[in-house]
Every structure is written in C-alpha cells, then in structure tokens.
Amino acid sequence: MQDVLMQRLDEVGGTMASCPVEPEVAITGNQIDILQRKNTFYYRGKFWCVPESFAFPSEVTRLNGWRMWLKGKAVVVDNKTYMIKPFSHLKGSDLPRKELVNELDTKWKPIFRKMAEAPGLVIPAEVDDEFVQTSFHIATEYLKATASYFGFGQKMKGS
C-alpha cells in the first residue's frame, strides 16, 4: 500500500522529505480506508506538515500542551480529521508562516524542552495517554525544581 502511495506521489511530482507518509490501513466492510499517521498538506508548491490554516492553540493548560508536545494534535480540514505530528518534532521549515515559527520557538519549546530534560524520563516512540500523565508529573516536579523563572511561585494552569 505504501508503494502505491509513493508511486502516486511521484506521478504528481511531490516530495515529502520532512513529513513522510506512513499509511495505516483500516478495513471496514468491503472498503479499505487509508489513514495517514503523519499527514502532509500540499500548498504553495510544496508539502507541509500542517494545513495552511494551522494555528497553535491560544489557551492551553500545561498538561494539554505536554500532550500535544508528545503526541501531536488532531485538526479538521475539509471535514477530514488529520493528526499533526508531535510538536516536539516540528521544525521551523515545517510551518508556513513566520509567526508560527516564532510561537513555536518562544512559547512551546522553552517550557516543554525543559520538561523533557527531567532525569530518567525516556520518551518512547509511541506515546499513550498513560505515559502523558505519568511523565507530566515527573516533568512538572523537575520544572519546579530547576526553572523557577517559569513562575512556579504563582498558580499555573495544569499544575
């Protein structure tokens, strides 16, 4: 199935270096549905890891932010649901607008990279909700102990 998808992509002249398609096949009755785990979106003459309308959520608790950092985020485009890759894997070149790059670099990376540095925390390739919960508590304690500049003297969302 992946070979067929790659062949069709070659036919349209596309490349997907930063967001490879890793299809998952679901058989429902007589129909075969292809679900993409890492979705790609084609616009402005290239493939992107996020839809053109993508925006980081503006109000998010630290726990939900941690979940998106580790697991990604579901988005709906043209009545289809896609899964954006974990925010920890996003690079500036994955994002179509400079303000998104700035937001990733200034609002997401500083706190969640620090949390991911917690001693003994090993992030698996496939993250489930149980890991999100347990790792959140470990990472939060590490953050409280090492990064008072994030304002842990005050009540924070998600703590």
Q: Is residue 156 within 8 Å of residue 63, measured between CB atoms?
A: no
Residue owning tokens 């390739």: 125
pLDDT in tens, 79-118: 888 999 999 999 999 999 999 999 999 999 999 999 999 9
pLDDT computed for residue 3 by the predictor: 59
- Position 38: which residue type? K
Q: Above 50 in pLDDT, residue 154?
A: no
pLDDT at 139 over 80: yes
pTM above 0.85, yes or no: no
